Amino acid sequence: MKLTRRYRFSASHRLHAPALPDADNIRIYGKCNNPFGHGHDYVMEVVVRGPVDGVTGLVVDMRSMDDLVRCEVVDAFDHKNLNTDVPEFGRTVPTSENLAVAAGRRLRNAWKERFGDVPALEKIRIHETRRNIFELLL
């Protein structure tokens, strides 16, 4: 059985690779290279897979999952400037691809301690816009 749970957070960022000349940053990132940044209302889907528990009838204790995702990802990213407020992006461009990697790493690191191997954390999807959705298989 698979369960997909959605979470929302808002964050701002500027897409700018310091190793590249300004002209290249403008060409690659376009309006997302605005020196003042811009924001998104992200939707993150967390997908877990496992058997249905014979006693509870659940794949996962959703309250416990919600607490973990909130503590590890939502609270860390919500209403933050990703470039300056989130340690993972001190030297990494906060693209949505890298946001998915950072969220996945945070969840993977905490998941086993909370849940063990069952249910398995299968993937996350980051919806940046209606057209841009990033999926990370875990």
CB proximity list for 30: less than 8 A, separation 6 or greater:
none
| 16 counts as catalytic | no
CB proximity list for 118: less than 8 A, separation 6 or greater:
50, 51
pLDDT digits (tens), the chain, 138 positions: 999 999 999 999 999 999 999 999 999 999 999 999 999 999 999 999 999 999 999 999 999 999 999 999 999 999 999 999 999 999 999 999 999 999 999 999 999 999 999 999 999 999 999 999 999 999
Sign of the C-alpha dihedral computed for residues 74, 76, 80 and 83 taken in this order:
negative
Give the active site residue among 38, 71, 79, 135.
Answer: 79
| 97 counts as catalytic | no
| 32 counts as catalytic | yes
Contact 50, 82 (CB under 8 A): no
Q: Which of 137, 106, 93 is nearest to 9 (CA)?
A: 106
What are the residue boundaries of the structural domains of the chain, listed by start?
2-137
Q: Which of the four CATH numbers 3.30.420.40, 3.20.20.10, 3.30.479.10, 3.30.1280.10 does domain 2-137 have?
A: 3.30.479.10
Contact 42, 128 (CB under 8 A): yes
